Structure 1
C-alpha cells in the first residue's frame, strides 16, 4: 500500500487530474455514447446473438469509462448476468426475453456511495451505460448455466451479496464487493454447491487468480481520492481485482466455459428497413 500512496501523492503534486476509477458498477455511463435508438439496437443485437447461441444465462461486461482511463489489461468496468426467461410487462403481458441482474453502487443520492444493491433491469438499461462500441461476453457451460440460474432464483443470491462496496474490492477477501466479485460469489456458489460466503471466498483464493493492477496503472485506476467508493484496506502490497479477463481464464481452465468473446455493435443494423 505504500506504493499506492506514493504514486497518488506524486500525481497530486504534479497537478495531474485523477480520472475515473476502473471497476465502476454505476448504473449509467459518465458520458453518453449512444443515442436511445443506437442503445436499443445494440441491446437487441446482443440479445439475438445470445439467443442464437442458446444461452439461457450469460455474463456480459461493458465499459462505463473511456478506455484511455483504464489500466493495462482491463477493458471493461461493469458486468451482470443476462438471463433468458419470462418477463412481465407493465401491461401484464408475459414475454420471453433477457432480464439483467446487476450489483449497482450508490450515487450518493438514491443510496450511499459505499453501499451496493442488487438491481434487476433490462438489456437497454445495461447497453446505454457503455462508452464504447463493444461488450465482452462469457457464456458458461450448460451445466454452469443451470447452476447459476438455480442460485439466482434462490435465497443464496442475496446471501452471498456483501453491500459494503469498493471500486477495487479484493476477490480474495470478504470485506468489500464490486459487481465482478459478486458474480464470482454466485458462480462459486454454483461450482461448490454452498451458500457459505466464507467458504466461497476461501475456495476463490485457492483456485481463482485475480487481475493484478500494474504500478503504471495505479493513478488512472484509483481515481478520485475523495470518492467514498474507493476503499483499499482489504488489499496488501499487491492490488488484486476481478475482471472479465481473469474470470474468463478461470472458467476456461476449470472447464466451466462454453464461450468467451467480444461482441461489436453494428451501426448498420440500427437503421430500420425501408
Structure 2
C-alpha cells in the first residue's frame, strides 16, 4: 500500500475531532455537533445514492467568509465505491495550520465533523462525460495527484510554489476535462483559464495584514506580486469561482443545496 493510501486509511480511523487547518490539539466535538454531522452525512449520502453518478463535488462551510460575500469555504470530490468506502470525500487539507498540506480520503461523517460553522452543504453533479473522465483521473491517485505540499491559504492561482484546497480542485478538474492528458499543475491551470475559469478577488487591506495578525504559517502574501499586495485585491480560487466555472462551461448536470437542514433553490454560485 502506498504512503498516500496509508494516509487515507489512517484518517478514516481518526476520532471525531477537529484537525484540519488548526494547531492539531485534540478537540473532541460535543455530542450535538457529532449528531449534526451524522445527520448531514446521511442527507448527502441519500442524495448521492439517488443519482447514477460515480463522482460529485461536495462543499461545506468551515469558515465564515460572509464579509467576502462567500458561503462555502471548502469542497472535495465525493467518490462512489472508493476503496475506503462507498461515498468517500477526496480533498486537500492544510495540516494543523502549518505551511504543509496533504491529500486525504474521508467518510462523509468525518468530512462534516471538522468543527464547522454550520452544516450547510451543496452537491454539484457533473455531466456524464466529465464525471467519467474525472473518476478515471481520481482512480489513478496517488499517481498524477497534482499535489504541491507547500500550502498557502491565499495561494496565487497558477502558482508554481504554493497550493490550497480549491486550487487543487480546479487543477484536477482541468486535467480531467482536457482533451489530452495533463500531468503538471501549470498546464492544468492554464487550460482552466483558457476554458473560461476566472478566480475571485479577495480584498485584504494592508492595515489588516499588519495589524490584524494575518501573518501565520499557512498564509503567505509574498506569493502575489507587489502591486497586488499594495492594492490588497488578491485573486484566489474560491469554491464560488469553481461553481461559476462549472456552470458557465456547461459541465454541471445537477445541483442540490441545503441551508439549516432545508433544501434550497440554487440561484447561482455561492
- TM-score normalised according to structure 2 size: 0.74
Structure 1 vs Structure 2 CA RMSD: 3.0
> Matched residues in 2 for 1:218 and 1:74: separation?
22
Unmatched segments (≥5 aa) in structure 2 = 1-18, 263-270
Aligned-residue offset at 1:85: 0.6
> Matched residues in 2 for 1:208 and 1:218: separation?
30
Residues 1:131 and 1:152: Cα distance change in structure 2 (over 3 Å): same
> Matched residues in 2 for 1:261 and 1:217: separation?
38
- Choose from 57, 64, 76 the match for 1:80: 76
- Per the alignment, residue 58 of structure 1 pairs with 56
- The alignment status of 1:117 with 2:102, answered yes or no, reads yes
In the TM superposition, what whole-angstrom CA distance separates every residue of 1:8-50 from its partner, at most 9, and x where no partner exists? Answer: xxxxxxxxxxxxxxxx96389x995852222111101111112
Larger RCO, structure (CA 8 Å, separation 6 or more): 1
Aligned-residue offset at 1:260: 3.1
Which runs of structure 2 are paired with 1:235-250 in the superposition (5 Å)? Answer: 235-236=224-225, 237=228, 238-250=233-245
Which runs of structure 2 are paired with 1:109-258 in the superposition (5 Å)? Answer: 113-129=98-114, 130-155=116-141, 158-192=144-178, 193-206=181-194, 207-214=196-203, 219=208, 224-236=213-225, 237=228, 238-258=233-253
Aligned-residue offset at 1:204: 2.8
- Contact preservation (8 Å) 1:55, 1:139: yes
> Matched residues in 1 for 2:205 and 2:254: separation?
31
- Contact preservation (8 Å) 1:172, 1:205: no
- Per the alignment, residue 262 of structure 1 pairs with 257
Residues 1:168 and 1:228: Cα distance change in structure 2 (over 3 Å): same
Count the aligned residue pairs: 229
> Matched residues in 2 for 1:72 and 1:200: separation?
27
Counterpart of 1:194 in 2: which secondary structure?
coil
Counterpart of 1:165 in 2: which secondary structure?
coil
Aligned-residue offset at 1:122: 0.6
